[in-house]
Amino acid sequence: MGLLEFSKLPVNTLVGADWKTFKELTAGQHIASDKRGKYLLTRAICRLLSLAVPLQDRKFRKLLASQRPAHDPLFILGHWRSGTTYVHNIFAQDPHFAFTTTYQTVFPHYVMALQGMFKPTMGWLMPEHRPTDNMELAPDLPQEEEFAFQNMCPRSYYNFWFFPERMQEYCDRYLTLRTATSEDIEAFKQVFDKLVRISIWNTRRGVKDAQYLSKNPPHTGRVKALVEMYPNAKFIYLMRNPYTVFESSRSFFANTIFPLQLHTISDEQMERNILRNYVELYRAYQEQKRFIPAGNLYEVKFEDIEQNALGIVEQIYSQLQLPGWDAARSAIESYIASKKVYKKNKYQYKPETVRKVNEAWGSILDEWGYERL
């Protein structure tokens, strides 16, 4: 059991940002008076650690900057709480897939240097399970890379964890890229490509045909930019019952944001943001998926994966022409079997929840074939 409770963190995850990113992200932001102590401690630690950022930068330029991965990535897309973590962990059992680790998401600048010093301490302090569900946590487990990206670049949707008052602005600019500038998009491409290369080096250094495995809900609104970077990238898009997604997202965002935010918004405003941004993300994906080459996209309901995970995964390997199914099958089958005892959160849909989802997401329910309540 970790020594720190997630809800009582004395700092937020910006401790792992480089100083330039921290300054640009926090410049002119509203810091609530009751969050100022956390902000100042986070800032002080970030400033101190940033002195070591050049160590990794030099090693990256020497070892990785001129190398291109053997394969374009496999991207797992879908709204938060749509089963992306479970699917991510399934594919991560395949030893040819590389991924961003939980350690790397907090300390992306200290992976190629100083990881041996920082990671044991992180493992000692961090909780063993996520605060919003029962999924396990550990420094070397796969994690969604947006948490790393936000510490490498100030142009991240996850800025809203710290500054939720600007959540909708960040959605339009950094999640769906609807108001993004050309500079925003180019910065995203450069930083993300660097993150991919370091992740492959970190988790599959000795695998010649290593392929990056991405699980990152924000990428659902960036498909066009991703295909421009990786023309032969493969994509899995997950759908899940919107009533469940709404209840789970509301709980997830409310609980996760508490120890990270530097000012607050009301529960009502967060709920409105969830309802609105879900639609924006859905529309962005529907508009951009046409850029994915034929045969490189697999769309599936999470409920179907729950019923037949091994069969669906085998279909994905076949349709997307992913290498390594025979070698990976045993490990994937064992992982799926081990999670059959996992107890998910149960949701009771209140009439008010049903009304809100039907009003805001009714057309999506119909499009995906979920019965309206």
Sequential pLDDT tens for the chain (373 residues): 465 778 888 999 999 999 999 999 999 999 999 999 999 999 999 999 999 999 999 999 999 999 999 999 999 999 999 999 999 999 999 999 999 999 999 999 999 999 999 999 998 888 777 666 666 789 999 999 999 999 999 999 999 999 999 999 999 999 999 999 999 999 999 999 999 999 999 999 999 999 999 999 999 999 999 999 999 999 999 999 999 999 999 999 998 999 999 999 999 999 999 999 999 999 999 999 999 999 999 999 999 999 999 999 999 999 999 999 999 999 999 999 998 855 555 667 989 999 999 999 999 999 999 999 9
**Contact in structure between 225 and 102 (CB atoms under 8 Å):** no
Q: What is the pLDDT of residue 132?
A: 63
Residue 351 is which amino acid? Answer: P
Q: What is the pLDDT of residue 278?
A: 98
Beta-strand (E) ranges in 9-156? 74-77, 97-98
Q: What is the pLDDT of residue 136?
A: 77
Q: What is the pLDDT of residue 341?
A: 54
Give per-residue burial for 77-109: e unless 16+ CB within 10 Å, then b. Answer: bbbbbbbbbbbbbbbbbbebbbbbbbbbbbbbb
Residue in the structure block whose two tokens are 């907090």: 106
Residue 334 is which amino acid? Answer: S
Beta-strand (E) ranges in 105-261? 211-215, 234-239
The pair of three-digit structure tokens given for residue 70, joined into one six-digit string: 């053997």
Torsion sign across C-alpha atoms 206, 212, 215, 216: positive
Reported as half-sphere exposure (CB side, CA atoms, 13 A), residue 156 has a value of 27
Q: Count CB neighbours of 260 within 10 A.
A: 21
The pair of three-digit structure tokens given for residue 140, joined into one six-digit string: 């070397």
Task: Give the whole-angstrom CA distance, residue 183 versus residue 368.
Answer: 35
**Contact in structure between 171 and 157 (CB atoms under 8 Å):** yes
Torsion sign across C-alpha atoms 65, 68, 71, 76: positive
Which candidate, 36, 147, 155, 141, places its Cα nearest to that of 93? 141
Q: What is the pLDDT of residue 130?
A: 66
Q: What is the pLDDT of residue 237?
A: 98
Tell me the pTM. Answer: 0.96
**Contact in structure between 216 and 145 (CB atoms under 8 Å):** yes
- Three state DSSP letters for 71-105: CCCEEEECCCCCCHHHHHHHHCCCCCEECCEHHHH
The pair of three-digit structure tokens given for residue 369, joined into one six-digit string: 């074939």
